[in-house]
A and B are shown apart, each in its own frame.
Chain A
Amino acid sequence: MHTLELTVNGQGHKVEVGLKTTLLEVLRDKLHITSPKVGCNTGDCGTCSVLLDGVLVRSCITNALSVQGKSVTTLEGIIEPGDIHPLQKAFHENYGSQCGFCTPGMILASKALLDANPSPTRDEVKEALSGNLCRCTGYVKIIDSVLAAADEMKS
């Protein structure tokens, strides 16, 4: 076993991990942070997406020891407790979630986009979310949500 020190949503943690342990296992099984989901464990679906030092990664194929000393943000950490992020508000108001299983990853992928590009076009949103699968919505209202959030964040 090896000791992993990392920061999750602003809070420092020290956990024991094996050589094969993934970041997703650390978050879910050791820290009980359950917004990143186990959808495939092969990096194909995006439901486990988190931000690693601000960069979007798939935590299911990210080796835990590779994030030594780094900072991880999950959906729980994108805003102060009791408040919500404009993306969360926009996904709620524009019906950007149906079953809700892809939603945490979808919102984090959207945040990574808007952090880098505050005024994306519709096509740029599609491109940015192309690695996050959703089986319920057909994506139309997800894309609407991201564009609505971008508008709100600019004003």
Chain B
Amino acid sequence: MYPSGMSGGGDSSQAMVKVQPDGSAVVTVGSCDIGQGCKTIMAQITAEVLGIDYEAVKVVNDDTDNCPLSFGTFASRVTYVDGLATKLAAEDARRILFEVAAVMLECSEDELEAIDNQIRVKGNPDKALPIGEVAGAGTFGMRKLILGLGHYMRDPAAMDPETGECDPFCTLAWAASYAEVEVDTETGEVEILRLVNSYDVGKAMNPTHLEGQIDGGATMGVGAAMSENLHPFYPSLDFQPDNLGDYAIPTTMDVPDMESVIYECPSTNGPYGAKGIGEMTANTPGPAIVNAIHDAVGIWITNLPATPEKVLRALDAKGA
């Protein structure tokens, strides 16, 4: 279970969508792409709203002089919060295109739709204009700047200090993991044979991106469960690892070929029903592995990571 957006709300994101004279678009947001795919998702949303090709969208997110406000890339918030801001901005730009096209097609704005790189009367392919023609006419003929603006911010949530009662999040996504392990009772080594991850994501905006994020987060979960420990003699700082040989994040040899299954239970407010799952992907694999170890050899490892030493000690304690 994990929330999208900052707990307690109050986190803003803004977006600008500019339609160029040729009908292509530039979306500008202030959130970072840390590998999670912010640029891809914002381009997809812009293309969807304007009815244009994904390849016809550029994304700009590289500095604070040019990009509008975003609180940042954390709290599993970008697809949800920036996504809503981008959707609003693209709809705002589309509204300007409809104003122009309504004059050109001699119809009212609310009869129009943006689809297949065209602005057309809904359901009537004969009354249609290429979006580039509309954008060109709007820009040069009507002297318009076709720029849409969007801002999304969830209101800050008040909290009762005694009960903690509050409405702290936009929506919740859900996940579960299944692990099969083999425990070597001589050496204490645990091999993960199988790891299956199941998610509700609200709406799978880009299934490939989701699978990649799920695999990557699961691997981080495997690391925390099996090998990673910044303070191996906790709480002391002795023998702290100071290189990536000693601080052992998982390699290709440490994770199985993971499988994932995606379910879509739409959020009531997210863009297209989407939810953010960036962070929660690291949460369920660890306990699944520890529970699988118990299922295999009857020991509980409640002090992570489950190193061979801890497994052997627990086996000894159980045998005694």
Total interface residues on A, CB under 8 Å, equals 28
Proximity string of chain B (1-39) to chain A, C-beta cutoff 8 Å, 1 when within and 0 when not: 000000000000000000000000000000001111100
**Can you name the residue of chain B whose Cβ is closest to the Cβ of A134?**
B216
Q: In the complex, what's the smallest C-beta–C-beta distance from B220 to chain A, in angstroms?
A: 7
Residues of B within 8 A of A45 (CB): 244
Query: Which residues 123-155 in A have Cβ within 8 Å of B in the complex?
Result: 125-127, 129-143
Is A115's beta carbon under 8 Å from chain B? Answer: no
Proximity string of chain B (204-223) to chain A, C-beta cutoff 8 Å, 1 when within and 0 when not: 00001101111111111000
Is A3's beta carbon under 8 Å from chain B? Answer: no
Contact B211 A133 (CB under 8 A): no
Separation of A131 and B250 alpha carbons in the complex (Å): 11
Proximity string of chain B (227-254) to chain A, C-beta cutoff 8 Å, 1 when within and 0 when not: 0000000000000000111000111110
Is A116's beta carbon under 8 Å from chain B? Answer: no
Residues of A within 8 A of B209 (CB): 95
Total interface residues on B, CB under 8 Å, equals 28
Given contacts A130-B251, A138-B258, contact A98 B244 (CB under 8 A): no
Residues of A within 8 A of B37 (CB): 98
Contact A98 B35 (CB under 8 A): yes
**Can you name the residue of chain B whose Cβ is closest to the Cβ of A97?**
B35
Interface hub of A95, A99, A100, A142 (most chain B Cβ within 10 A):
A95
* 8 interchain pairs, CB-CB under 8 A: A42-B244, A95-B209, A99-B33, A126-B253, A135-B249, A137-B219, A138-B255, A143-B252
Interface residues of B (CB under 8 A from A): 33-37, 208-209, 211-220, 243-245, 249-253, 255, 257-258
